[in-house]
């Protein structure tokens, strides 16, 4: 059994923590798999605390070297479209508790928190903010998907979707459809698709994520500005 409390942490060299970046790995992996994204984020945001936990359930390792710590967020054996949402939903209370505990421990508000995930981790990140709007200011979803067509969109969380055009595990078309569905319910979402990239946390997608974090102004910020201007 893997434990969520086994977490890799990268903290600022000095000074207070200004942002909290929580990275959720993919199926049959570990927090260490998120190191390339963590390093890129640390360079761009030196005052951020970057945390990469291991998922709580033991998973089948992808190779012998991964056998010591291969974890999954939810069980995939006998997974069907019918039981998939329930399995994801069952993991959200513990994930929510963990996210809020890290925010409290490090003194970071939800608006300054970003939840990033790859594959299974992206599915969990998206599901969490769809259920708990505003628990994080942003989600960076790499190679993930929404569990169902949304009836409403988060108002306090911006969703950034990243996908490889050649992803055969979770096809990019799902992210295209998610972006359209979110737009129809006035969601704040973006989509970047990298050509020639499969189901991997690719440097091209990491670069897109950095650009989104540094340049995208959340819709909630625009709403607040227009409200204060009396529009």
- Residues with a catalytic annotation lie at 119, 167, 199
Beta bridge partners of 186: none
The two beta strands, 189-194 and 19-24, are unpaired
Closest listed residue to residue 27, CA positions, set 220, 169, 146, 154: 169
Is residue 103 within 8 A of residue 113, CB to CB? The reply is yes
220, 222, 225, 228: CA torsion to nearest 10: -60
User: Which segments within the chain are labelled E, that is strand?
Assistant: 7-10, 19-24, 48-53, 57-58, 71-72, 113-118, 138-142, 158-164, 189-194
Burial 41-74 (b: 16+ CB within 10 A, else e): bbeebeebbbbbbbbbbebebeeeebeebbbbbb
Instruction: Kindly give, in sequence order, each residue whose CB lies less than 8 Å from that of residue 108, ignoring residues fewer than 6 positions away.
Output: 17, 18, 19, 20, 49, 102
Assigned token pair, 26? 């993919």
H/E element holding 208?
helix 203-215
């Amino acid at each position: 059994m893997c434990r969520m409390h086994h977490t890799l942490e990268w903290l600022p060299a000095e000074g207070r923590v200004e942002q909290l970046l929580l990275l959720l790995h993919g199926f049959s992996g570990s927090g260490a798999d998120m190191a390339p994204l963590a390093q890129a984020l640390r360079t761009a945001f030196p005052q951020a605390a970057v945390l990469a936990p291991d998922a709580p359930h033991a998973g089948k390792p992808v190779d012998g070297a991964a056998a010591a710590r291969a974890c999954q967020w939810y069980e995939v054996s006998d997974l069907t479209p019918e039981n998939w949402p329930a399995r994801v939903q069952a993991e959200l209370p513990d994930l929510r508790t963990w996210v809020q505990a890290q925010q409290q421990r490090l003194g970071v508000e939800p608006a300054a928190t970003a939840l990033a995930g790859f594959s299974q981790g992206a599915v969990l990140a998206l599901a969490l903010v769809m259920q708990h709007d505003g628990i994080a200011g942003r989600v960076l979803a790499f190679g993930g998907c929404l569990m169902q067509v949304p009836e409403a969109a988060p108002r306090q969380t911006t969703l950034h979707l990243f996908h490889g055009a050649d992803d055969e595990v979770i096809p990019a078309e799902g992210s295209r459809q998610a972006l359209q569905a979110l737009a129809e319910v006035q969601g704040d979402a973006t989509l970047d698709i990298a050509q020639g990239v499969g189901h991997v946390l690719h440097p091209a997608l990491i670069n897109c994520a950095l650009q989104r974090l540094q340049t995208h102004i959340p819709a909630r910020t625009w709403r607040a500005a227009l409200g204060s201007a009396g529009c």
